A and B are shown apart, each in its own frame.
Chain A
Amino acid sequence: MTTIDDQAAPIAIPIRPDETKAERNERLRLLARSPTFLLGSILVGVWIVCAILGNLIAPHDPVAPDILSKFEGPSGAHLFGTDKLGQDVLSRVIVGARSILVVAPLATILGTVLGTTIGLVTGYYRGFVDEATMRVVDAVLAIPLIITALLAVTAVGPSRKTLVLVIGFVFTPIIAKTVRAAVLGEAQLEYVQAARLRNERGPYVMFVEILPNVTGPIIVEFTVRLGYAIFTVATLAFLGFAADPTIPDWGQDISTHYQSINAGYWWPVLFPSLAIATLIVGINLIADAIAQLFER
């Protein structure tokens, strides 16, 4: 049999394995060099440290009332002042990071996992299930998020678990929509048809073939949602649905003290508010930087 060994055999170096790795590294480098990302990471990083160390770095016991020194303004002894029970505001702000930084990410992860699954199924199979699911999704999205969450928490009663579940479920449709849009584009590509042509099952096509190609939008959506989740947790606490009323919580502290502002006691409100604001801004900065990276 004639062989054609001297035919345009790949003799040169058409491939540069180092190059894609370099590309990925460059992505990370670009991210690390982005001022948006850096500032965001510093803000979020500070709160993560507070959440982890909590009581260890708090100058006072955050839940020790001291009736004699209530509503003391910021001073050397109490940098952020004390609240109406004489508790140290700084310590409460530091320790308060934990509850929000546990509930919000867990809820977002839950919403992302569920939303991604729904988005993959509806975007891949299309048809009636897709139509039906998307109508439900649209209906859910039409109701303001906070009201849905509020109703659900009222019905079940607040606890860490319910907060995670409720916020996760409320986010699911939004994430499902984003993922579905990305999947619709991918499912048109021929590699999906090639999978059908070797009798692959649906779940394999969705999770092994398509999912790795839509991680970009999912990561971006996750970071954006995380910001919203923090806002939602804080709002619910402000409205009286804190996960655990006995431990320090930013939203709850604002809610307890906002009426004292009139009396000139601004510090027990301002500092927890700033905490919420900086955390959300930090996360949104990170989300922006990541979104920009994937758009390139």
Chain B
Amino acid sequence: MTDAAIELQDLQIAYTVRGIDRRVLRGVSFSIGQGESYGLVGESGCGKTTAAFAIMRYLPRNAKIQSGSIRLNGEDMLAMSGAKVRRLQATTLSMVYQNPASALNPSIRVGPQLAEVFGLLGVAKEEAAHRSEAMLHKVQISDPQQVMRRYPHQLSGGMQQRVVIAMALAKNPTLLILDEPTTGLDATVEAEVLDLIAALRQEFGTSVLFISHNLAVIAKMCERVGVLYAGRLVEEGVAQEVFRDPRHPYTVGLLRSIPRGGVRKDETALDTIPGFLPRLGANLPGCVFEPRCGLAKEICREQEPELYPVGNGRVSRCHFHDRAQELPRAAPTRLPAAQTANGRPLLEVANGSKTFKQDGQDVRALVDISLTVRPGEVLGLVGESGSGKTTLARVLLGLTAPDEGSRLALDGEELAGKVEKRSQEQVRSLQIVFQNPDGALNRRHSVRRIVGRALEKLLGLGGRERDERTAQLAESVRFDQTLLGAKPAQLSGGLKQRVAIARAFAGDPRIVLCDEPTSALDVSVQAAILNLLVELQTQKGVSYVFISHDLGVVRYISDRIAVMYLGRLQEVGDAETVFGGPHHPYTEALLSAVPTLEGEDRTRIRLEGEIPSAANPPSGCVFHTRCPRFLGEICVQEEPPLAEVEPGHLMRCHIPVDELRRLQGEARAVAQSKTTT
């Protein structure tokens, strides 16, 4: 195959850890055609990034290429001299990383930094500056002159990633590697960046290797996809087909763990993949997925399956590829339904505001929030970063004191602004599960101590009683008792999050705030944690305030949704009402930004520009600067009230709800007619 831009042949790579070679890639072969976009998916630790680094020849020093070949335009890269590799890195290979902030040199202005790439190609200085400007135009930066004079930290995350992409494309590379390029970005910004990448790929005809753990992003961006598991390519084929009709149990499991298509917790439990990824370099004589596969038979243990062709150029590394979709569920189909008790609100916020002082300026992080949480319900909190979700959570917990005039009440009783001033009963009623379990658990304390201490302080338990309750809690979050003596660093991400959940539930709380509890986890682990949260809620009758940027997850778990923008509530209502429509224009834009696996082309609304600064919010309706359904002068002049437009559905918009319903219905019809034709 000479028409391939890049071709990996049976690549085996090992890392030498403490003198022992641990294999990370176990013979990976794939090729990317000229101008083709190839996706690589799999959970963390599967070897995606190692494969990318191998192509870039950026492998760390303790990595060893044991066998196999990498051919770039037919030329063997592994046989090249160091000088030649460096020239390739400068001229024909490009890579974009997850975190644009660390990919840019913070001490060099954008202009010179971009021009450096042209300099390496031997372009004269003045010409380089011109081309840089043109390049920034291409990545849709509206004012390149001005951006070029700025330092990277003066740009938003989305802008930084555009600059990185501009730098990557400046040399018109043969192959562009994108390693989770949008993972750190908001959904609205992600949508823009993905559109941009798609457009530029058309224009430049570059071959792309797109690495992501987000299957929907891959489905949207790639023609073909390879599924990587434990350093082995287990399935490969046309992206849409692989996701519609997976032929490997691992792909099946991954797809089943994602909450999508609007499924809800009371309809079906998410499926999970039992067990854990094998350790680096583990000896796996049979199928790599066998230990976790519900279909595994004797043959799977003994004999590594070959890559079976399954039609249309697709392959699957499974002895039972024709029955992959019969994979038995690892989780039960249904979860016991939670009882949402109506009646008296459990937690109330009235006129909740929080103003931070920053450089003598008032930054209003929360503005006049009025919300209730009912017993036993899940309130989903969504909005872009900077919308005030986490500040609201901190105010509820008493970690940040709200402004004067804000009122918080639990069970009708006033809640002090600071946790130190709340009663013991109130303190244990409100607990939190943090986003990042690494920071949330003290790395010097054992699990037993972390959970036990919470029991001591919140319930006053000691001695035997405390140890018994610790064991019970561990069991209720499905945490193996034998691991109670372990320190957090010894646990996987999912197990750490289980410990954090056990701690939150130690004092029999009434409300648990979940601040992005699954966003640091892989999808199959996320599914298990979501199932656990739903189950605990049913058993203990707690309420959740669930913060997430993943709308699929929020829709799955929430009974009601509150949408925030610039510290203000924009829409509140039952989950199905908010997601089903008519929506607030902001909600509409958020929903349309999320790529879906189904590839359905919904009404495409792209939010232009960036979230305005909270220090200097727009006049009138704060959303008017980006609103896709901007009316006119009234939106600039007057802030609409948060009005009840339907029973239980509040919205802050000047457009009457019936008008919104009509407009959004029309847009949907247009989109549907487009997909059918």
Contacts and interface: CB of A to CB of B under 8 A. Distances in A.
A199 interface: yes
Contacts of B479: 10
A190 B273 contact: no
A156 interface: no
Given A2-B336, A7-B531, A198 B330 contact: no
Contacts of B273: 8
Contacts of A199: 419-420, 424, 427, 457-458
B103 interface: no
Interface stretch (A15-23, A97-105, A288-296): A15-23
A4 B535 contact: yes
A234 B485 CA distance: 48
Nearest to A6: B330
A14 B282 CA distance: 13
Contact of B419 (A2, A15, A19, A196): A196
A212 interface: yes
A189 interface: yes
A213 B442 contact: yes
Interface in B269-297: 269, 272-276, 278-279, 291-292
A198 B458 contact: yes
A66 interface: no
A138 interface: no
B200 interface: no
B490 interface: yes
B341 interface: no
A130 interface: no
Contacts of A191: 439-442
A193 interface: yes
A7 B432 contact: no
Given A9-B478, A194-B503, A196-B420, A14 B332 contact: no
A198 B453 contact: yes
B431 interface: yes
A36 B478 CA distance: 47
B399 A14 contact: no
Contact of B457 (A9, A14, A198): A198
Contacts of B458: 198-199
B258 to A, nearest CB: 15
Contacts, number: 128
A7 B330 contact: yes
Contacts of B491: 14-15
Contacts of B531: 4, 7
Given A4-B531, A190-B440, A198-B507, A15 B275 contact: no
Nearest to B485: A17
Contacts of A13: 276, 279
Contacts of B430: 197
B429 to A, nearest CB: 11
B434 A190 contact: yes
B19 to A, nearest CB: 11
B397 interface: yes
Contacts of B274: 6-9, 11
Nearest to A192: B442
A8 B330 contact: yes
A208 to B, nearest CB: 8
Interface in B408-453: 419-420, 424, 427-428, 430-432, 434, 436, 439-445, 453
A96 B485 CA distance: 49
Nearest to B292: A12
B490 A19 contact: yes
Given A8-B524, A19-B490, A200 B457 contact: yes
A244 interface: no
Interface string B195-223: 00000000000000000000000000000
Interface in B513-569: 524-525, 527-528, 531-532, 535, 539
A246 B303 CA distance: 83
B427 A14 contact: no
Contacts of B419: 196-197, 199
Contacts of A193: 397, 399, 432, 434
B444 A17 contact: no
A95 B72 CA distance: 71
A11 B330 CA distance: 13
Nearest to B490: A15
Contacts of B485: 17
B487 interface: yes
Interface in A1-55: 1-2, 4, 6-17, 19-20, 22, 26
Contact of B434 (A16, A19, A194, A198): A194
Of the listed residues A11, A13, A190, the one surrounded by the most CB atoms of chain B closer than 10 A to its CB is A190
B442 A197 contact: no
A4 B331 contact: yes
Interface residues of A, number: 32
Given A8-B274, A198-B458, A20 B495 contact: no
B121 interface: no
B440 A194 contact: yes
A246 to B, nearest CB: 47
A13 B436 CA distance: 22
Contacts of A9: 274, 478, 480
B276 A12 contact: yes
Contacts of A7: 272, 274, 330-332, 478, 528, 531-532
Contacts of B278: 12
A196 B399 contact: yes
B650 to A, nearest CB: 30
B301 to A, nearest CB: 15
Nearest to B278: A12
B331 A1 contact: no
B489 interface: yes
B478 A14 contact: no
B483 interface: yes
A10 B440 CA distance: 21
B275 A12 contact: yes
A194 to B, nearest CB: 6
Contacts of A10: 276, 478-480, 483, 495
Interface string A260-281: 0000000000000000000000
B18 interface: yes
A211 B272 CA distance: 39
Nearest to B437: A190
Interface in A159-209: 189-191, 193-194, 196-200, 209
B454 A198 contact: yes
A13 B491 CA distance: 10
A49 B457 CA distance: 49
A17 B485 CA distance: 9
Contacts of B457: 198-200
Given A199-B424, A199-B457, A12 B291 contact: yes
B339 interface: no
A203 to B, nearest CB: 14
A15 B434 contact: no
B486 interface: yes
B613 interface: no
Contacts of A6: 274, 330-332
B619 interface: no
A26 B18 CA distance: 9
A17 B335 CA distance: 34
Contact of A4 (B332, B428, B495, B524): B332
Interface of A: 1-2, 4, 6-17, 19-20, 22, 26, 189-191, 193-194, 196-200, 209, 212-213
Closest 3 CB pairs of A and B: A212-B444, A8-B528, A190-B440
Given A9-B274, A199-B420, A213-B443, 7 more contacts: A4-B535, A7-B531, A8-B330, A8-B528, A12-B278, A197-B397, A213-B442
25 contacts: A2-B336, A4-B332, A6-B274, A6-B330, A6-B331, A7-B272, A7-B330, A7-B532, A8-B331, A8-B524, A10-B480, A11-B274, A12-B291, A13-B276, A15-B483, A15-B492, A15-B495, A19-B490, A194-B434, A197-B432, A198-B427, A198-B457, A198-B507, A209-B442, A209-B445
